[in-house]
Amino acid sequence: MSVLISDDSNFEENLSQNPLVIVKYYADWCGSCKLFAPKYKRLSNDERFQKITFLDVNAETNPEARKRGEVNNLPTFAIFKDGVLEATQSTSKEDVVIELLNKLVF
């Protein structure tokens, strides 16, 4: 599965239509966000996580989506199950993101 770009206009719809969602909140100026992008794309194609929808949200231009993910730092990853925020983690470490993904799958 690929990473879907989401914004305030379709964020709630993406959450309601997909039972398991991970969101990467980023900003264009964030170097760590840019460095993590290829890892995030690779994880989205990992068959262990095929039931999870991967979203990318620009935290600077989408305040409503940012609020839903309780974003304080970047990059931030948030997992949602049935539209409910389950956990949020600010990190640029792949193993921490994998732990979040495993919380959704298992």
What is residue 102's three-state secondary structure? helix
Q: Provide the 3-class DSSP secondary structure of residue 98.
A: helix
Cα angle 72, 57, 63; round to 5:
55
Annotated catalytic residue: which of 15, 21, 22, 30?
Answer: 30
Determine the distance from the C-alpha atom of residue 29 to the mean position of all C-alpha atoms in its chain, rounded to a whole number: 18
Which candidate in 33, 55, 57, 97 is catalytic?
A: 33
Rounded CA-CA distance 9/12 in Å is 8
- 33 a catalytic residue: yes
Which residues are annotated as catalytic? 30, 33
